[in-house]
Structure 1
Amino acid sequence: MLFMLCLLGFFVVWLFGHVLGFGLYLIVLFIGHLLAYWYIYCPLGILVWLCLSFGVQNILLILAAVIIILALVLTITLVSSKSETTHHS
């Protein structure tokens, strides 16, 4: 009986070690994935946080306004640089 209890103890400790090791492996894998792709998850997390804070429709309106402003700034920059190159020629 004592031998069977020892075998059961060995098995439980062995199983617990494997379960714990697998859990640690998954945690390290997940954290490594987050650290490797931070440039994707960081803006995505900020966007999700903003959507939860302000609402999805407001964030979509803000993003549309930002895109329109950036497009206008890019257009003005390209037109002004094009006009400068024609004046120097």
Structure 2
Amino acid sequence: MTTEDETRDAVHRILGDVHLELTEFPGGNISLTVSDDHHSATVDGHPVSGYGWTVDPGEDDGFTGHDQISPTLEDALEAVRAEFGLDED
């Protein structure tokens, strides 16, 4: 199970100084929203079932699920990093 502190550490290690809103549920599921000056992303999931994410969701995307899925939180955050353009110089 990923703890709230481990999740916060992973977000800041991979995405840097972003705004983070994090909810951890009793069953171990997490839901997080991260944002910087240009983008926002939501990531939802569990260590057993994987993590889904959406970057810059539209107003009509609420509660419709995620098109992108990763087996680990770190993989999902790396994909968000790429979509945020944080790897570009």
**Shared fold, TM over 0.5:** no
So what's the TM-score if we normalise by structure 2? Answer: 0.23
So what's the TM-score if we normalise by structure 1? Answer: 0.23
More strand by share: 2
* The structure with more radius of gyration: 1
